[in-house]
Each structure stands twice: as structure tokens, then as C-alpha cells.
Amino acid sequence: MSDSKAIFLKDATVNAADGDQRAFIRKALGGYYVNRDLQKARYRDWERARDAASLAKWSAVNDLANVLEKFTANFERNGGVVHWARDAAEARAIILKIAKDADAKAIVKSKCMTSEEIHLNEALEKAGYGVVESDLGEFIQQLRGEAPYHFVFPCMHVKREAISELFTKHLGTAPTDSPEELTMIARRHLRQLYVDADIGITGANFLVAETGQISITENEGNARLTAALPRIHIALSGIEKVVSHLDDLSVLLPMLATAGAGQPMTCYNTLYSGPRKKGECDGPEEFHLVLLDNARTRLLADPEQRDALHCIRCGACLNVCPIFKNIGGLAYGTTYQGPIGSVITPHLRGLKQWNHLSGASSLCGACTDACPVRIDLHHHLLHNRRNAAKESPTLFDRVFHHGFNFVIKRPWLFATGGRIFRATLPLLQKLPLPYMGAWMKTRDLPKAPASSFRDQWKNDHA
């Protein structure tokens, strides 16, 4: 068993047994479902809108080389600097060099999952820079020393009492149980940090090839401030975030907000085309964009699952996933949690170590229905399982399934086996058998009938 699987099983077991925490997560998501449905109802045809969003991403991803070339040419024409990183280490090195060249001291960051993917904060801190996460949820997680629980709602699992204690401990503020007051504490604390920071680091939700702009989606305004006040703006993005036309955002921006957060649009959707232009009064002097591969091209090379690169990181698949809701985001042990994480992590970090996430699904398909860009999520979990069985088959699985197949190929053996199974079921239930023992721990099996359907049918139709 891989280490990551052992840790997963341990954490999932603990979390799945925590009824209070699970109820807290369900309650937290309750308002989201109501708002999402209200917003979806404003669409005259949500399903067809999904088609349009899906095609916008499909056409860019399937022409990635050309679209990226066009994007970078336009981005550079606008005065930005493009950096390319094959992997996490290269991306970290690029950003560290920019910081060193700028003689930076303080860095303020807005939410960027790609930076979590490359463990940027640790690298910056190790090099001596002060780094502050400015998104409220990320700020709280940074103080907690914990990875985000959900890639859109980073601290949704933390109760207000714990946040109050955290702020008292780190910021010396008086305890409060008001989410509003807690938010204002963070607001007051962070304001001067934006003003003082030398470098602002953001992610990017979309890269627009036609205009060379990057698009950033947020609610709090922290990304706006991060890209407005510091002298240098660094954006970090995966290469798959590119779209062909500015007009594609007319569908993608509202659908991202509706699917992910139940909003018509998030509060701020901002397009940046470069550093401060001549005649503009503020904005950064330098604008750097780090484009990261980090195994995305490996996923691209799999045409069956290439659509996973359509992902716009809205989080809708997590919000509807019964696995996510019952084991929580941290149990995954991945940068990207939930169904999309279970699909892509084996490609990004190794199938053998991460296939268990594809196994840990009832394949209910709620994720696939929720995805605004129509990624075939739950079927990809099946594809990962198939690929893993081919690549590194486990002896137990081979024996079990070939044995089962031996039986079902022979109806007489199946019938006889069934008869024995039914006759011995009361005994079998008491034995510590694999699979059955686990099942019986929390659930009863129906009483075995005296005769099977096939026997009764045969008697009735003799």
C-alpha cells in the first residue's frame, strides 16, 4: 500500500466517524445550494450554456500550442514578462529570483492554488521573505499552518470559535463569535500590509490569447489590492488556463460564479494586460507571469481525460460530492480536493500512489452533472481504476475477479455457488471475511431466501 493511501485511509476513517463535523460541513453548504439553484434558474438554458462553456475550453485546450503562443506574444506586447516553468522547482526558482532582483522584503499574496501546488510559501519563507496570504480563508489557514480544506472555500471546516481563538493568539484581538467582526479584524490587519508590500503574487483564472490579458476572479477585493499597490506583480498560472477570445469570458465568468459559489458573478472579475501604462497613476512597474507545466502536458497527452484540463476550478464538484462532504478536504492529501482532484492527481503525481482516490468513490456522478464545463469526472475515475489495474495490478484483485469470472461464466456453478452461499450465509456473516466482514460491521444483509429466482422460475415454468 502506498504511504499516501495509508494516510488517506486513516484520515478518512477518523473524519467519516465525526458526525458533528460532517453536519457542520453540510450546514455550511446549505446556503450555497439555495443560491446556486436561484442563479441557475436565471439561465434560460443552463445545460446549453454548459455546452458553450465546455466548447470554449475544449477548443483552446485542443489547440494549446497555438493559443498559448498567441497569448504570450500579446502579453509581452502589453509590457509583461513571461517565464516558463517545467515543474514546481523551476517555478519557485523563477519567483525567488524576481524577488531577489527586486530586493523585496514583504510579499502579499492573493489566493492561488497553483502556488499551493508548488509549495511557494515555504520556499519564500525559507529564503527570508515575509509572505502574507490576503484571502480571508487562506489567511486563516496560513495562521493555522494547514493546507486549504477546499480549493475555493479554504477554511469552511473551521468554526468561528476556533477562528476567534486563532486571532486572539496571533493578532492579540478580543474574542468574538461574530463572523462580521472576525472579518473586520482581518481587514484591519491586512490593509497596511498591502500598502507596504513590494511584491504582490496572484493566480490567474483565465489567460486571454486574443488580448494578452489575464483574468482573476475573486470576491473580497484582496486580489485587486494585491495587483494594485505593490511595485511588482507576479502571476502564477498553469498553461491550461488559456482561452482564445475575450468574448469566451461572457459565458465562463458568470458560470464559474454560479456553479462554484451560487453567485451571478463574483464581486471582482479583473483583466490585467500589463504593468502600469504611461499616463496611469498607479499599478505595478513590473508584471511577471510564470506559466507552469508541472505534468499538465502528461494529462494533455491522454485524449480520454484531456477534458480534465477544461477545469476552471469553480469547486462545484466538491460542493456536491458526498465523499468530500463526509471525509473532508484535508483527507485527500492533495492540492486539489474532491472529484477533480481524484481525477487529476494520479496524472500530476503518479497513478500508483494516488489511484486510491479514484477507488474511493461510489461513482454517483453528482460531480459530472455539476461541472459547468462538462468534464466527464466520474467516468474518469473509472478510467483511472482501469489504468491502475493494467499498470500495477494487485494480486488480490486479480484472483478475486478472475475467480468470480470463472464462476459467472458457468451458470450451473453460479447456481450451485449461490445455493451454498445462501445456506451458509448465517455462518459466513460471523467470519472475518474480506469485504463481507467490513460490510457487516455497520449493515445487515437480508435473510437469505430458501430458493433463488432461477430455481423458483424453473419450478413455476416446469
Partner 1 sequence: MRISLFVPCFVDQLTPQVGLATAKVLKRLGHEVDFRSAQTCCGQPSFNSGQWDVAREAAIRALGVFRGADVVVGPSGSCVAMMRNFYPELLKGTPHAAEADDLASRTFEFSEFLVKKLGVTDVGAKFAKKVTYHDGCHALRELRLKEEPRQLLRAVKGLELIESEEGETCCGFGGLFSAKFPMISTAMVQVKGGALARTGADYVVSSDPSCLLQIGGWLSREGKPILPLHIAEVLANDA
Partner 2 sequence: MPDARSDIFARIREALKVKAPKPHLKGEPAAGKTSAVAKPWLPEGGETADASLSILAEQLAKLKAVLIRVPDHAAAAKAVADLSSSKGWKKVAYHGHPLTRPIAAALTCETWEADASFDKQKLEGCDAGLTTCEAIVAQLGAILVSSASSGGRALSILPHVHVVVAEASQVVPDLGSSLALVQARHGKDMPSMLSFITGPSRTGDIERILVLGAHGPKELYLVLVG
Instruction: Determine which residue in the list 103, 443, 459, 462 makes contact with partner 1, applying CB under 8 A.
Output: 443
Site for partner 2, residues 296 to 355, rule: CB under 8 A:
297-298, 300-301, 303-304, 306-307, 310
Q: Is 33 in the site for partner 1 (CB under 8 A)?
A: no
User: Nearer Cβ to partner 1, position 180 or 460?
Assistant: 460
Q: Is the dihedral of CA 263, 267, 271, 274 positive or negative?
A: negative
Q: Is 46 in the site for partner 2 (CB under 8 A)?
A: yes
Cβ-based neighbour number of residue 169 at 10 Å: 10
Q: 245-248, long-range: CB within 8 Å, 24+ apart, which pairs?
A: 245/56, 245/208, 245/209, 245/210, 246/208, 246/210, 246/211, 246/213, 246/271, 248/56, 248/60, 248/206, 248/208
Instruction: Determine which residue in the list 243, 257, 366, 371 makes contact with partner 1, applying CB under 8 A.
Output: 366
Binding segment (CB under 8 A) for partner 1, from list 173-181, 196-204, 260-268, 356-364: 356-364
Q: What is the DSSP string of 260-278?
A: HHS-SS-SEEEEE-SSPPT
Residue count (the chain): 462
Q: Is 29 in the site for partner 2 (CB under 8 A)?
A: yes
Rounded to a whole number of angstroms, the minimum distance from the CB of residue 250 to partner 2 is 4
Choose the one of partner 2, partner 1, none that binds residue 362, judging by a C-beta under 5 to 8 angstroms depending on kind.
Answer: partner 1
Q: Is 159 in the site for partner 2 (CB under 8 A)?
A: yes
Instruction: Determine which residue in the list 250, 362, 416, 424 makes contact with partner 1, applying CB under 8 A.
Output: 362
At 322, which amino acid appears?
P
Binding mask 306-345 for partner 1 (x = CB under 8 A): ----------------xx-xxx------------------
User: Which three-class secondary structure string do you get for 280-298?
Assistant: CCCCCCEEEEEEECCCHHH
At 6, which amino acid appears?
A
Rounded to a whole number of angstroms, the minimum distance from the CB of residue 280 to partner 2 is 5
3-class state of residue 83 by DSSP: strand
Q: Are the C-beta atoms of residues 43 and 264 closer than 8 Å to each other?
A: no
Instruction: Determine which residue in the list 176, 418, 428, 429 makes contact with partner 1, applying CB under 8 A.
Output: 418
148 vs 157: CA distance, rounded Å: 10
User: Nearer Cβ to partner 1, position 187 or 401?
Assistant: 401
Read off the C-alpha cell for 149. 480544506
Site for partner 1, residues 387 to 416, rule: CB under 8 A:
387-390, 397-398, 401-402, 404-405, 407-409, 411, 414
Size of the site for partner 1 (CB under 8 A): 65
Q: Are the C-beta atoms of residues 321 and 338 closer than 8 Å to each other?
A: yes
Site for partner 2, residues 415 to 454, rule: CB under 8 A:
none
3-class state of residue 452 by DSSP: coil
The β-bridge partners of 85 are: 292
Among residues 218, 237, 29, 32, which one has the least CA distance to residue 134? 218
Choose the one of partner 1, partner 2, none that binds residue 396, judging by a C-beta under 5 to 8 angstroms depending on kind.
Answer: none
Binding segment (CB under 8 A) for partner 2, from list 46-54, 412-420, 422-430, 448-456: 46-54
Q: Is 166 in the site for partner 2 (CB under 8 A)?
A: no
Binding segment (CB under 8 A) for partner 2, from list 191-199, 339-347, 432-440, 450-458: 191-199
Read off the C-alpha cell for 229. 499597490
Instruction: Determine which residue in the list 102, 140, 199, 314 makes contact with partner 2, applying CB under 8 A.
Output: 140
Q: Is 365 in the site for partner 1 (CB under 8 A)?
A: yes
3-class state of residue 337 by DSSP: coil
Rounded to a whole number of angstroms, the minimum distance from the CB of residue 341 to partner 2 is 20
Q: Is 276 in the site for partner 2 (CB under 8 A)?
A: yes
Among residues 154, 76, 68, 74, which one has the least CA distance to residue 109? 154
List Cβ neighbours of 59 (8 Å cut-off, separation of 6 or more). 244
Q: Is 85 in the site for partner 2 (CB under 8 A)?
A: yes
Residue 231, burial from CB neighbour count under 10 angstroms (0-12, 13-18, 19+) = middle
Cβ-based neighbour number of residue 131 at 10 Å: 21
Binding residues for partner 1, rule: CB under 8 A, are 12-13, 16-17, 19, 22, 26, 322-323, 325-327, 359-366, 368-369, 382, 384-390, 397-398, 401-402, 404-405, 407-409, 411, 414, 418, 421-422, 434-436, 438-439, 441-446, 448-449, 451-454, 456-458, 461
